Structure 1
Amino acid sequence: MPAERITFPGHAGNTLAARLDLPEGPVLATALFAHCFTCSKDIPAARRIAGRLAAMGIAVLRFDFTGLGHSEGEFENTSFSSNVADLIMAAQYLASRDMAPSLLIGHSLGGAAVLRARAGIPSVKGVVTLGAPFDPSHVSHHFDAALPEIDAKGRAEVCLGGRPFIIGKEFVEDIKAEALAPAIAGLKAALLVLHAPRDETVSIDNAASIFTAAKHPKSFVTLDDADHLITRAADAEYAAEVIAAWAGRYVGMTPPAPPPGAPEGILRVTEADPEGFLQDVQSGPYHHTYADEPLAYGGTNRGMSPYGFVAAGLGACTSMTLRMYARRKGWPLEGISVDVSHDKVHAQDAQPTGPAKIDQFTRVIHLCGPLSGEQRAKLMEIADKCPVHRTLESGAKVVTHLETSTQAATG
Structure 2
Amino acid sequence: MSSSKVEFAGTRGNRLAGVMELPDQAAPRAFAVFAHCFACGKNSLAATKISRALASRGIATLRFDFTGLGDSEGELGQAGITANVEDLVAAVHRMGATQGQPSLLVGHSLGGTAALLAARQLPQVKAVCTIGAPATAKHLLRQFKGAMVDAQGDWQVKLGGRDLSLSAEFIGELSNHASDAAASAGLGRALLVMHAPHDQVVGLEQAHALFSAASHPRSFVSLDDADHLLTRGADAGYVADVVSAWAGRYVDAAVQPPVPGPAELPGGSVWIGERDHAFWRTMRAGSHLLDADEPGELGGGDRGPGPYDLLLMSLGACTSMTLRVYAKRKGYSLHDVQAVLRHERLHAQDCTECDGRSGRVERITREITLQGPLSEEQRSDLLRVADLCPVHRTLEGQPVIVTRLNPER
* TM-score normalised by length of structure 2: 0.60
Kept in 1: contact 2:31–2:104 (CA 8 A): yes
Quote how far apart the aligned CAs of 1:154 are. 2.8
Kept in 1: contact 2:131–2:193 (CA 8 A): yes
Instruction: State which structure, 1 or 2, has the greater radius of gyration over its C-alpha atoms.
Output: 2
Inter-partner Cα distance in structure 1 for 2:90 and 2:127 = 18
Kept in 2: contact 1:105–1:111 (CA 8 A): yes
Query: 1:197 — aligned with what?
Result: 197
Kept in 2: contact 1:41–1:63 (CA 8 A): yes
Inter-partner Cα distance in structure 2 for 1:257 and 1:44 = 38
SS in 1 for 2:128: strand
Moved more, 24-33 or 61-70: 24-33
2:195 pairs with 1:222: no
Inter-partner Cα distance in structure 1 for 2:57 and 2:78 = 38
Q: Which of structure 1's runs of 4+ aligned residues deviate more than 6 A? A: none
Inter-partner Cα distance in structure 1 for 2:75 and 2:153 = 15
**1:238-266 superposed Cα distances (whole Å, 9 cap, x missing partner):** 1111101101111124666999xxxxxxx
> Percent identical across equivalent pairs?
49
Query: 1:172 — aligned with what?
Result: 171
Unpaired runs of 5+ residues, structure 2, are 262-409
Instruction: Provide the alpha-carbon RMSD of the alignment.
Output: 2.1
Query: 2:384 — aligned with what?
Result: none
Query: 1:48 — aligned with what?
Result: 49
Kept in 2: contact 1:125–1:251 (CA 8 A): yes
Inter-partner Cα distance in structure 1 for 2:231 and 2:99 = 33
**1:66-88 superposed Cα distances (whole Å, 9 cap, x missing partner):** 00011111112100111001111
Inter-partner Cα distance in structure 1 for 2:250 and 2:232 = 27
Quote how far apart the aligned CAs of 1:157 are. 2.7
Quote how far apart the aligned CAs of 1:100 are. 1.7
Kept in 1: contact 2:77–2:165 (CA 8 A): yes
Inter-partner Cα distance in structure 1 for 2:192 and 2:186 = 15
Unpaired runs of 5+ residues, structure 1, are 260-411
Inter-partner Cα distance in structure 2 for 1:98 and 1:54 = 13
* Alignment size in residue pairs: 258
Kept in 2: contact 1:146–1:158 (CA 8 A): yes
Query: 1:231 — aligned with what?
Result: 231
Alignment of 1:74-93 (within 5 A): 74-93=75-94
Q: What amino acid is the match of 1:173?
A: G
Query: 2:16 — aligned with what?
Result: 16
Q: What amino acid is the match of 2:97?
A: S
Q: Would the alpha carbon gap of residues 188 and 70 (structure 1) be closer, same or farther in structure 2, given more than 3 Å must change? A: same
Inter-partner Cα distance in structure 2 for 1:15 and 1:140 = 27
**1:292-314 superposed Cα distances (whole Å, 9 cap, x missing partner):** xxxxxxxxxxxxxxxxxxxxxxx
Quote how far apart the aligned CAs of 1:153 are. 1.7
Inter-partner Cα distance in structure 1 for 2:235 and 2:182 = 31
Q: What amino acid is the match of 1:225?
A: D
Inter-partner Cα distance in structure 2 for 1:156 and 1:210 = 28
Inter-partner Cα distance in structure 2 for 1:185 and 1:59 = 24
Moved more, 34-43 or 183-192: 183-192
Quote how far apart the aligned CAs of 1:213 are. 0.3
Q: What amino acid is the match of 2:49?
A: R
Q: Would the alpha carbon gap of residues 258 and 165 (structure 1) be closer, same or farther in structure 2, given more than 3 Å must change? A: farther
Q: What amino acid is the match of 1:240?
A: A
Q: Would the alpha carbon gap of residues 18 and 226 (structure 1) be closer, same or farther in structure 2, given more than 3 Å must change? A: same
Kept in 1: contact 2:211–2:220 (CA 8 A): yes
Inter-partner Cα distance in structure 2 for 1:243 and 1:182 = 20
Quote how far apart the aligned CAs of 1:11 are. 2.6
Kept in 2: contact 1:116–1:180 (CA 8 A): no
Quote how far apart the aligned CAs of 1:215 are. 0.1
Inter-partner Cα distance in structure 1 for 2:133 and 2:234 = 20
Quote how far apart the aligned CAs of 1:27 are. 1.8
Alignment of 1:129-208 (within 5 A): 129-146=130-147, 149=149, 152-178=151-177, 179-181=179-181, 183-184=183-184, 187-208=187-208
Inter-partner Cα distance in structure 2 for 1:142 and 1:208 = 20
